[in-house]
Amino acid sequence: AQSVTQLGSHVSVSEGALVLLRCNYSSSVPPYLFWYVQYPNQGLQLLLKYTSAATLVKGINGFEAEFKKSETSFHLTKPSAHMSDAAEYFCAVSYSGGSNYKLTFGKGTLLTVNP
Amino acid sequence: NAGVTQTPKFRILKIGQSMTLQCTQDMNHNYMYWYRQDPGMGLKLIYYSVGAGITDKGEVPNGYNVSRSTTEDFPLRLELAAPSQTSVYFCASSYPEVRAGGPFEQFFGPGTRLTVL
């Protein structure tokens, strides 16, 4: 069974500071990994996805994530936070097997950006 | 394309009432999903469908029913609403498989906020 753990339900950074949101996964087969962002009162929007083509994945709005198999991690980073980055972020996993159309989501990390 | 649309946006139900949450997508996606989102709990899969006429239970199906008569529509039915069903409900859809075993990006609707009193 696959699972995702997001470390830290709430992360607070200053504007211009590094953003680091942590995600660890558990999967018995090679995973596909996703980061989604949810702005207040909206649905989820895909930020980026790992599909085994490259370990460093670049997404929208300056975010990127690195797949580290040895650490079973897929942490999300952005060099310089902007006020508009304030949102909730979800890591999700599926795997290259029969049910690859189903995602398992982490519990989310709420990012606050302080001026 | 409108993408995934959901109606209504908000609804208040009394205990024991029933209702249908509507979901429509115009992207010709085979796969559709219903999730509920509760604070601090992430998204839990209620039901999903791999095509018209085919549905299956997800992680938390109790108290809900679905049907999929067309590719575009995937309504979620709540029978005998209970306070535990107070939540935000999201519908999503996925594009057809590009390559065998390939990943499925899910596209989400804006959600329905349901309160059961």
Read off the pLDDT of each residue in A5-21 and give the average, rounded to a whole number: 96
Chain A residue nearest residue B89, CA to CA:
A43
Chain A residue nearest residue B93, CA to CA:
A101
Pick the residue with more confidence: A114 or A55? A114
Of B4, B41, B48, the CB nearest to A102: B48
| Alpha-carbon span B34 to B97, nearest angstrom | 19
Other beta carbons less than 10 A from residue B10's beta carbon: 10
Q: Are B29 and B96 in contact (CB under 8 A)?
A: yes
Beta carbons within 8 Å of A30's beta carbon, 6+ residues apart = A52, A95, A96
Model pLDDT, residue A102: 84
Distance of alpha carbon A45 from the chain centroid: 11
Taking an 8 Å cut-off on Cβ atoms, the answer to whether B42 and A108 are in contact is yes
What amino acid occupies position A53?
A
Q: Which residues of B touch A34 (CB under 8 A)?
A: 103, 105
Q: Which of A35, A60, A103, A109 to mutate to test the interface with B (most CBs of B within 10 A)?
A: A103
Model pLDDT, residue B38: 93
pLDDT (tens, 9 = 90+) of chain B, 117 residues, equals: 789 999 999 999 999 999 999 999 999 888 999 999 998 889 999 999 989 999 999 999 999 999 999 999 999 999 899 999 999 999 999 875 555 556 778 999 999 999 999
Reported as half-sphere exposure (CB side, CA atoms, 13 A), residue B79 has a value of 6
Q: Which of B27, B55, B88, B105 to mutate to test the interface with A (most CBs of A within 10 A)?
A: B105
| Alpha-carbon span A30 to B48, nearest angstrom | 23
Taking an 8 Å cut-off on Cβ atoms, the answer to whether B43 and A105 are in contact is yes
Q: Are B32 and B25 in contact (CB under 8 A)?
A: yes
Strand residues in chain A grouped as ranges (E)? 3-7, 10-14, 19-26, 31-38, 44-50, 56-58, 64-68, 73-78, 87-95, 104-105, 109-114
